[in-house]
Amino acid sequence: MDLNWLDDVLVLLEEGNMSRAASRRHITQPAFSRRIRGFEGWLGTDVLQRGANSVDISPALRANEVEIRALAARIRDLRSKIAHFDPAGSTVSLAAQHAPVFSTFPDMAVHAKRRFPALRFRLRPGNLRDCVTMFLRGDANMLLCYESESAGPLPFGDSIRRVIWGNDYLIPVVGGALRYAVKHDGTLAANTPAIVYPENSYFGEVLNKSERAFATQALSENPFCETAFSSGIKELVLNGMGVGWLPFSMLYKEVESGEVISLANHLGKEQLKIALYADVRDEIAVSLLDVWNAAHR
């Protein structure tokens, strides 16, 4: 039960040797060997490259040593938390894509604070997948994210409630010296450097689907930097490192001031909704959805 297999694997990683690991675990080597085989059965893959009288630990297992340690620590924390339980405080944890944190959360925070003056927030930023994972796992009470018009709402079950806060759109922009590379007709050389989204990121998928130029590695002749971190993309764009696709709400001020130039007229734009999700069983979260829903009627 509990930590056995995690401890087994950690000890194996430390010793690099079944016999010594078995000794550390206070069982015989054949018993330890059988445990590790059981672990491999559960994984569906081997973690040891076995010689006739030696074993090598696979890179996959070695690369995950930190994670395994973290898991073991977390399970110990869980035990402690249950054993020394103290009723929780009144903080709402919000998993949010980076971009909506900029444009929407301050306004939302104002509305929330009016209704629940003592309410506190914990912002958990991340890419969409990480945010959805945090939310579904219960690491966050609510989820704040963009939705493209083509994809529609996230496919949650009936126990998850959804509210729309507003609209936004993704536009291609350039800044710094690259502004002067834009031709009079609004076009740009195809080999202009681009700051691109990973194809498995949310914006990457949305823009790939619409085949937007400069959006991902596949759609760019010169993808200089790849990151899902839209704030970082904004900085690189402002510094003239390349073309980037960003939510308009993140840089409307810079567009207004001329610090960046929108290429939407030529390269198009991608419509987005800003959505909030919460579990219907979470009373505080549902109350907040109500507050934010009312604020946008």
Q: Give me the residues that bind DNA (CB under 7 A), please.
A: 1, 17-20, 26-35, 38, 48, 50-55
296 contacts which partner out of a copy of itself, DNA, none, CB within 5 to 8 A by kind? none
Nearer to a copy of itself, 54 or 91 (CB): 91
Binder among 7, 15, 199, 235 for a copy of itself (CB under 8 A):
235
Angstrom CA distances, 56 to 16, 24, 38, 62, 117, stand at 7, 18, 17, 10, 58
Run of H or E including 95? strand 91-97
Nearer to DNA, 28 or 80 (CB): 28
Q: Check residue 153 for interaction with a copy of itself (CB under 8 A).
A: no
Q: Check residue 91 for interaction with a copy of itself (CB under 8 A).
A: yes
Q: Check residue 133 for interaction with a copy of itself (CB under 8 A).
A: yes
Q: Check residue 47 for interaction with a copy of itself (CB under 8 A).
A: yes
Q: Residue 230 burial (CB < 10 Å; 0-12/13-18/19+)?
A: buried
278 contacts which partner out of DNA, a copy of itself, none, CB within 5 to 8 A by kind? none
Q: Which two tokens stand for residue 257?
A: 């001031």
Nearer to DNA, 37 or 122 (CB): 37
Strand partners, 260: 175
Instruction: Say if CB 139 and CB 95 are below 8 A apart.
Output: yes
User: CA 104, 232, 228 angle in degrees (round to 5)?
Assistant: 80
Q: Check residue 37 for interaction with a copy of itself (CB under 8 A).
A: no
Three-state DSSP class for 170? strand
